[in-house]
């Protein structure tokens, strides 16, 4: 059976918009029903159009809802049960019956404009719904995007068919973005709004690191290695605990890769952020010990009621356990879900000892400052030479008077420039006299 040009055009629209043929066909049928209602019916009618597969003609049906006699209000879209049974003998209250109306091919300008608006609106709604359903499945996943616009602290990315926004809290503080930059981002939420889907992506979310490892490590993608816990301070450091579900498989080695190739691929996407990959353990003491790596733990005391742990470390491991600015112990606490107190071996709290050490260092610095000041010495008295020599009271000789030259003579006097010839001429008489 040959296909009509009208249906071929519908298929072309479906391919261009990325929609299904049925969705576009329903849109066109709704537009024809709206145009028929505008030209030949009344606004209260409930009409339905149906387009044939082989012809361009459409059948128009008026739809009625069957209601009991006490609820009957409008004859344009309601029918009583007795009248409905004349159309369909199996009709029941609450169902619908249809009456076919005469089809007209000629529509006026206003009806055609109404059909056009309906088509545009329905296609836009169908496209928005399709995008929402597509990206709703990508929620909590890592996708590729291209930076389209940087406005203040908010970045707009193009994800292919739709744009997404990355608000300031979801950015890595040390990163600077520019138009055309390609990024991997984590989709945090997909919301349906009146203007279409609103997609929020993140570069600071902890699961971005887990998603990047899933892309780089086949064992994680296959499910033989799983990420059990993760804690992150975006742009600085991340701790991730992994576990193997297959005997004989090293989960940490699988994530690191041969010569660190896999973890380096992840680091290149995160602006060289530091990543600690540790082994997950069901024993909370072992897990806390692993989470504090690279520091070595001597002993752990647990408080199950308060969910706190007192971790004893050696003197040489204290700085490693705490980390720069307390970062190591802070990330370990987030990853394990336990409050951690780092103490020196012997039971002394590092916080108290640290304060005492700071006070002692301050005192030593003050002592050094005092001792480094130069000593005050009394200068030896210097005898004045003027007091030893007698004062000469003889008045000074009178100053010679230079005769004044009148201004006119100064003005009229020609001062010849001194040249080598003049010097030779002046020196010639003297040389003759010497001879």
- Residue in 184, 186, 228, 226 with CA at minimum distance from that of residue 206: 186
| Predicted pLDDT of residue 24 | 85
DSSP string of 384-399? PHHHHSPP--PPPPPP
Give the confidence band of 11 by pLDDT, cuts at 50, 70, 90: confident
On the question of a common fold for 139-201 and 205-280, the answer reads no
User: 16-28: string of b/e by CB count within 10 Å (b at 16+)?
Assistant: eeebeeebbbebb
Q: Tens digit of pLDDT for each residue in 243-269?
A: 999 888 999 999 999 889 999 999 988
| Predicted pLDDT of residue 364 | 43
Give the confidence band of 55 by pLDDT, cuts at 50, 70, 90: low
User: Class for domain 283-364, per CATH?
Assistant: alpha beta
- 1 versus 295: the higher-pLDDT residue is 295
Greatest mean pLDDT among 4-18, 298-312, 349-363: 298-312
Give the confidence band of 391 by pLDDT, cuts at 50, 70, 90: very low
| Predicted pLDDT of residue 56 | 63
Cα 204-207-208 angle, rounded to 5 deg: 55
For residue 416, give the 3-state DSSP assignment.
coil
- 402 versus 332: the higher-pLDDT residue is 332
Instruction: Assess whether pLDDT exceeds 60 at residue 405.
Output: no
| Predicted pLDDT of residue 189 | 92
- Each domain of the chain, given as residue ranges in start order, spans 5-131, 139-201, 205-280, 283-364
CATH code, 205-280: 3.30.300.20
DSSP string of 118-145? HHHHHHHHHHHHHHHHHHHTTTTSEEEE
| Predicted pLDDT of residue 368 | 36
Instruction: Assess whether pLDDT exceeds 90 at residue 385.
Output: no
Question: How far apart, in whole angstroms, are the C-alpha atoms of residue 171 and residue 190?
Answer: 18
Q: What percent of the chain has pLDDT above 90?
A: 35
Average pLDDT, the chain: 78
Tell me: cis bond preceding 251? Omega within 30 of 0 counts: no
DSSP string of 14-28? HHHHT--HHHHHHHH
DSSP string of 328-368? HHHHHHHHHTSEEEEEETTS-BHHHHHHHHHHHHHHHHHHH
| Predicted pLDDT of residue 395 | 53
Mean pLDDT of 138-145: 92
Lowest mean pLDDT among 11-15, 142-146, 272-276, 360-364: 360-364
- Are 175 and 150 in contact by the 8 Å Cβ rule? The answer is no
Instruction: Assess whether pLDDT exceeds 70 at residue 416.
Output: no
Give the confidence band of 380 by pLDDT, cuts at 50, 70, 90: very low
Query: What CATH number matches the domain at 5-131, 3.30.1480.10, 3.30.70.100, 3.90.1150.10, 3.90.1170.50?
Result: 3.30.1480.10
- Residue in 106, 97, 105, 59 with CA at minimum distance from that of residue 79: 97
Token code pair at residue 136: 């709703």
Instruction: Assess whether pLDDT exceeds 50 at residue 61.
Output: yes
Q: What percent of the chain has pLDDT above 70?
A: 77
| Predicted pLDDT of residue 387 | 39
Greatest mean pLDDT among 49-63, 316-330, 395-409: 316-330
For residue 322, give the 3-state DSSP assignment.
helix
Instruction: Assess whether pLDDT exceeds 90 at residue 433.
Output: no
Look at the block and give the residue holding tokens 């019956």. 97
CB atoms within 10 A of CB 412: 8
Give the confidence band of 79 by pLDDT, cuts at 50, 70, 90: confident
- 201 versus 6: the higher-pLDDT residue is 201
Give the confidence band of 2 by pLDDT, cuts at 50, 70, 90: low
Instruction: Assess whether pLDDT exceeds 80 at residue 403.
Output: no
Identify the CATH homologous superfamily for domain 139-201. Answer: Nucleic acid-binding proteins (2.40.50.140)
Instruction: Report the relative pairing of strands 154-158 and 163-166 from DSSP bridges.
Output: antiparallel
Give the confidence band of 196 by pLDDT, cuts at 50, 70, 90: confident
Lowest mean pLDDT among 101-115, 310-324, 375-389: 375-389
Instruction: Assess whether pLDDT exceeds 60 at residue 164.
Output: yes
Instruction: Assess whether pLDDT exceeds 50 at residue 424.
Output: no
Mean pLDDT of 276-299: 92
């Amino acid at each position: 059976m040959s296909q009509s040009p009208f249906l071929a055009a519908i298929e072309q629209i479906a391919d261009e918009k990325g929609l299904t043929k049925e969705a576009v066909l329903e849109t066109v049928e709704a537009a024809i029903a709206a145009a028929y209602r505008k030209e030949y019916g009344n606004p209260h009618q409930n009409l339905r159009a149906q387009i044939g597969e082989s012809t361009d003609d459409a059948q128009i049906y008026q739809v009625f809802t069957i209601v009991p006699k006490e609820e009957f209000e409008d004859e344009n879209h309601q029918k009583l049960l007795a009248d409905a049974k004349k159309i369909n003998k199996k009709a029941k209250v609450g169902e619908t019956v249809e009456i076919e109306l005469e089809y007209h091919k000629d529509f006026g300008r206003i009806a055609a404009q109404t059909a056009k608006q309906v088509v545009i609106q329905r296609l836009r709604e169908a496209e928005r719904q399709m995008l929402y359903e597509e990206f709703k499945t990508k929620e909590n996943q890592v996708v590729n995007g291209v930076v389209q616009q940087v406005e203040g602290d908010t970045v707009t990315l193009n994800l292919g068919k739709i744009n997404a926004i990355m608000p300031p809290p979801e950015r890595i503080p040390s990163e600077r973005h520019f138009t055309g930059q390609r990024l991997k981002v984590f989709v945090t939420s997909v919301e349906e709004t009146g203007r279409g889907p609103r997609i929020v992506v993140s570069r600071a979310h902890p699961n971005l690191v887990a998603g990047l490892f899933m892309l780089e490590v086949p064992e994680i993608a296959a499910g033989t290695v799983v990420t059990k816990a993760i804690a992150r301070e975006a742009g600085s450091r991340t701790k991730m605990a992994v576990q193997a579900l297959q005997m004989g498989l090293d989960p940490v080695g699988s994530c690191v890769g041969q010569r660190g190739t896999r973890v380096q691929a992840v680091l290149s996407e995160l602006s060289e952020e530091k990543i600690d990959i540790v082994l997950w353990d069901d024993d909370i003491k072992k897990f806390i010990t692993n989470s504090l790596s690279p520091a070595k733990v001597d002993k752990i005391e647990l408080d199950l009621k308060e969910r706190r742990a007192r971790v004893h470390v050696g003197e040489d491991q204290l700085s490693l356990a705490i980390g720069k600015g307390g970062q190591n112990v802070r990330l370990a606490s987030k990853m394990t879900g336990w409050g951690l107190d780092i103490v020196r071996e012997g039971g002394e709290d590092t916080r108290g000892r640290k304060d005492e050490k700071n006070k002692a260092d301050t005192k030593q610095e003050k002592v050094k400052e005092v001792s480094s000041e130069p000593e005050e010495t009394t200068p030896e008295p210097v005898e004045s030479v003027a007091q030893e020599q007698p004062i000469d009271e003889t008045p000074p000789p009178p100053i010679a008077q230079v005769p004044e030259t009148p201004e006119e003579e100064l003005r009229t006097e020609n001062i010849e420039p001194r040249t080598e010839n003049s010097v030779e001429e002046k020196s010639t008489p003297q040389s003759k006299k010497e001879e």
